[in-house]
A = this chain, B = another copy of it.
Amino acid sequence: MRISKLSELAGLPVGTVKFYLRTGLLHPGRATSATQAQYNDTHVDRLRLIRALLEVGHLPLADIQRVVDAIDLPTQDPATNVALVQRAVSPQLEDDAEVDLTRARELVDDLGWSIAPDSPHLPHLARALAALDSVEQPAGRERLRVYAESASHAARNDVDLITDTPDADKPVVAAVSSAIYETVFTALHRLAVENQTARRKSPIPGPRVSIPQA
């Protein structure tokens, strides 16, 4: 297909598609002349993935590039690509070196989790714990335990899904799983808070169920 058709199928302006081609985020088409190229379904799929990671996953383009590189890297084993994808969604923090990992490390050790010493996720956890300290709401042990249980419960499902996916599709499924399902979870968590607040005292204006008096 021509670039105009590709643009239509992906729901993106031709200028945006050209920009992604120029920056290498999208792989080149098959050149048919000096100024034209043919594109196929792999281009449509890739553009839809980029769009989802950008618009719903809220990943910056630089991180999407890292995710895409991790998907495309030729390796012996798709599990390597999956691991690279899962690392790419946690970008390195600018001030990474300054983050004290002690408590984050202690927490995952307490949980008995098997985490690489250079896991890119640890500095993110450490920064969030430090932010809670800074606003004088240090993370309590019990609350972190409940969060870790919830996270484990969801993660088990995610890892099952990747295991059950054909090898060739595993890296893309891992990318979607990490970036988009986290948005699903955040929305569900906020809805769950709304639900439970409404059920306890109904402080949110809106319809409520009235309990008939006996």
Q: Which one, A18-26, A30-38, A65-73, A109-117, is touching chain B?
A: A109-117
- Complex Cα gap A204–B100 (Å): 23
- Determine if B143 and A161 form an interchain contact, defined as CB atoms under 8 angstroms apart: yes
In the complex, which residues of chain B have a beta carbon less than 8 angstroms from the beta carbon of A195?
A: 108, 111, 113-115, 152, 155
Q: How many monomers of this protein are in the complex?
A: 2
Q: B56 near A128 (CB under 8 angstroms)? A: yes
The interface bits of chain A over 191-202 (1 if a CB of B lies within 8 angstroms of the residue's CB, else 0) are 111111111110
Beyond the given A83-B203, A111-B195, A146-B156, please list 19 additional residue pairs across the A-B interface where CB-CB is below 8 A. A48-B134, A55-B131, A79-B201, A86-B194, A113-B192, A114-B194, A114-B198, A116-B198, A117-B207, A119-B194, A121-B191, A122-B187, A124-B183, A147-B185, A152-B195, A159-B193, A162-B197, A182-B189, A186-B186
A-B contact pairs, 15 of them (CB 8 A): A48-B134, A49-B135, A77-B203, A113-B192, A115-B198, A116-B198, A118-B206, A122-B187, A122-B191, A124-B183, A139-B184, A150-B185, A153-B153, A154-B192, A185-B185
